[in-house]
Structures are given as C-alpha cells and as structure tokens.
Amino acid sequence: MKTTRTILWLLSVVFCFISLTSCMTTDIEESDSTIDYSQIKNWLHLPDNAEKDIDVFYVYPTAWFKEDPSEPNICAIDNRIMLIGSKAAFDRQATAFETVGNIYSPFYQQGDASYILTLPEKERWDFVGGTPAKDVSAAFDYYINNYNNNKPFILVGHSQGAMMLMFLLKDYMIEHPEVYERMVSAYVIGYSVTNDYMANNPHLKFANNADDTRVIISYNTQSPDIAFGKNILVTDTTSLVINPINWKRDGTMAAASENLGSYMPNSLGSYSKVDNLADAQIDLAQGVVVCSTVDDEAMYTLSPTFNRGVYHSFDIPFYYYNLRENAENRANNFMK
C-alpha cells in the first residue's frame, strides 16, 4: 500500500508541494540533528566546476510527504522521498538558472506542507524558522565561506524554499552586509512577500523593473477564477508582485506570445519547451499574477495538489525562459 501511494504521488505531483489534507498536531517540533555541510552527501547539487563568474544558491520547495501520520512534522536529511522529490524540483526549476551561474543547492530538514499551511501565520513562521531555516542558514554560511570565493550570487527559492530565503534575507544579510553587497537578486517565488515584511526589513528592496539589482523578485500564479476558495499561498492582499514576462509592477497585460517559453512535462516523462502557453497580468487587488491562457483542467491533472486554478506548481515552469533571460540580464547589469 505504501509503495502504491509513493508511486502515485511521484506521478501526479511531478511539480512540487504536497496535498493539503490534514493537520496532525499543533506542537512546534525541532530536529536535534545538526547537519554537517562539509559532507558532499548533504548537498543536492554542487557544480562540477565553478567556472562562471556568478553563483546561484537554490532552495527547493516541499519535496516530501508523510508515509505514516505518526511521523514527525520535520523529515530527516536523508529521507528517501525528499531525495527523489528535491531532484525532480531541481530539474524543473533550478535548471532555468544554469546558464547564468554555478548552482549550489543544499538538502535541508524541511517541514510537512499539510501541517505548515494549516497553521496560523505567526505559528507557521515560528515553525519553519526552526530546524528548516537553521539548516538553510548553516548551508548558506558554509557555501559563503568555502565555495563562493567572493563571487556575486543569485538566490532562488520556491514555496517552502522561498520562505527559507526570506529568513536568509532578513537575518543573515543584515548580519553580513558584506555578503549582501554581492547579492545580484533574490527570486523568492511561490510565497507572499508583503508590505509588512519589507517595512520590517528596510535593508531590502523589491524589484521595480527588469534591470535593477540587489532586489527581491516575487509572485504567485493563479487563474482568473479559483474553484472552491482562495489561493492559500497568498497570505496577504498587500503581497508585492512583479510580472515575470514584462517585468512591470502594474496591471499591464503580457500576452502569451510575449512569453519566451514555458518548461512543461511531455509524453516522454521529461520536460520540454512550450511556446505561447502562459500569459501574465498582475491583479493588484489580490496581489497575484493571473494566467488566463492555460487549461485549468489540464493543469489540475498534472498537479492535483490545490484547488483548480491555483498554479503554484507552475510558478517557475510557466515563465522558465523569461526567468532565465532576466537572471542573465540582472547578472550582466551587476557585473557592469
């Protein structure tokens, strides 16, 4: 039974996150394990060589689910489901940035999504700010001191990975301003970056266009109409958003024909470029990017983890090649 469930999950949730079906406990949990990031086994990806002038530090989204409800709400660093899921996430997300930089990506003891997303906002941040954020901070610190060699770098994270970046940005960067000076940009995608977050962290800046550097880029994607409720990933209508096609902050429509290409699953079980698939327009009232040109039912079939019309799993794949071009552009501007 467990084997069948695992196979079905890996097939149907080929894109990310986990089914939000239950809340097991309300106790905040911590792992006693301290991860040694000097060991290669604790890294999802290290570059074969670091010949590029820019680095990319990538933090994957939730890539694990509980096989047994009695399991803790934080997984082990070597959990087999997470090892498989994180590799799949890397292939569909991090590879968008492989042309711009040397990619470094740590494993981390992440939280269970069905638990995290049923918590009140403050408790949610308390939980992920424990073991998961401590792991990612330790990994980033090890990367800075042992791999980075004073190079400029780009941060990339999606969903739970985006939350991890928000801790790095608000804590690590203010404690290490010399490191922050080398940050090209931070792609904090799939979780809300709110006005309150920015106001509480005045050392940070949100992107205003396609060219600025040392800035945060963020958005959540959905259809014009979501079935049965709201987009649970959008925590506040004051969420700051930038359009991933035209890189504007207003409601200007970017047609699917302007999209440089999406990166979607194909019949061969891998991914390939798809042209003219996804448009993008910011809904300023909701604080989201609305995509109106894809088939809701087809997307739900590919990733039946949220209400129909919530395109969380496709935040990066829909705009894969636009993100690639934008990262290259910001990197070039930074190097100038």
The reported pLDDT for the residue numbered 30 is 63
The reported pLDDT for the residue numbered 31 is 59
Cα 226–228–230 angle (5° rounding)? 55
**Backbone dihedral angles phi then psi of residue 127, each to the nearest 5 degrees:** -65, -55
pLDDT above 60 for 26: no
Confidence of residue 118 (pLDDT cuts 50, 70, 90): confident
pLDDT above 50 for 302: yes
**What does the DSSP assignment read for 106-136?**
E---PBPHHHHTTS-HHHHHHHHTTHHHHHH
Q: Rounded to whole angstroms, what are the CA distances from 13 to 46, 96, 143, 326?
A: 25, 20, 30, 27
pLDDT above 70 for 166: yes
Q: Reduced to 3 states, what is the DSSP secondary structure of residue 219? A: coil
Tens-digit pLDDT profile for residues 199-221: 999 999 999 999 999 999 999 99
**Backbone dihedral angles phi then psi of residue 178, each to the nearest 5 degrees:** -70, -30
Confidence of residue 15 (pLDDT cuts 50, 70, 90): very low
CA atoms within 13 A on the CB side of 191: 26
The DSSP H or E segment spanning 259 is none
Over residues 112-118, the mean pLDDT reads 82
pLDDT above 90 for 69: no
Over residues 163-168, the mean pLDDT reads 97
pLDDT above 90 for 231: no
CA-wise closest residue to 126 among 238, 29, 23, 202: 29
**Lowest mean pLDDT across 10-14, 202-206, 219-223, 320-324:** 10-14
CA-wise closest residue to 106 among 82, 70, 80: 82
pLDDT > 70 in the chain, percent: 90
pLDDT above 90 for 257: yes
- With contact defined as beta carbons under 8 Å apart, do 136 and 167 qualify? yes
pLDDT above 90 for 227: no
The reported pLDDT for the residue numbered 269 is 84
Q: Which residue has the tokens 């901070």?
A: 137
Q: Tokens in use for 44?
A: 């999802």
Over residues 126-134, the mean pLDDT reads 92
pLDDT above 90 for 147: yes
The reported pLDDT for the residue numbered 10 is 40
> Bigger pLDDT: 183 or 226?
183
The reported pLDDT for the residue numbered 157 is 98
The reported pLDDT for the residue numbered 25 is 34
> Bigger pLDDT: 16 or 125?
125
**Lowest mean pLDDT across 19-23, 276-280, 300-304:** 19-23
Q: Reduced to 3 states, what is the DSSP secondary structure of residue 59? A: strand
pLDDT above 80 for 5: no
The reported pLDDT for the residue numbered 195 is 95
Hey, which of 28-42, 110-124, 178-192, 296-310 has the most confident mean pLDDT? Answer: 178-192
Record the pTM.
0.90
- The domain segmentation of the chain, as residue ranges, is 35-335
The reported pLDDT for the residue numbered 228 is 62
Over residues 75-83, the mean pLDDT reads 95
Give Cα 235 distance to the centre of its chain.
Answer: 15
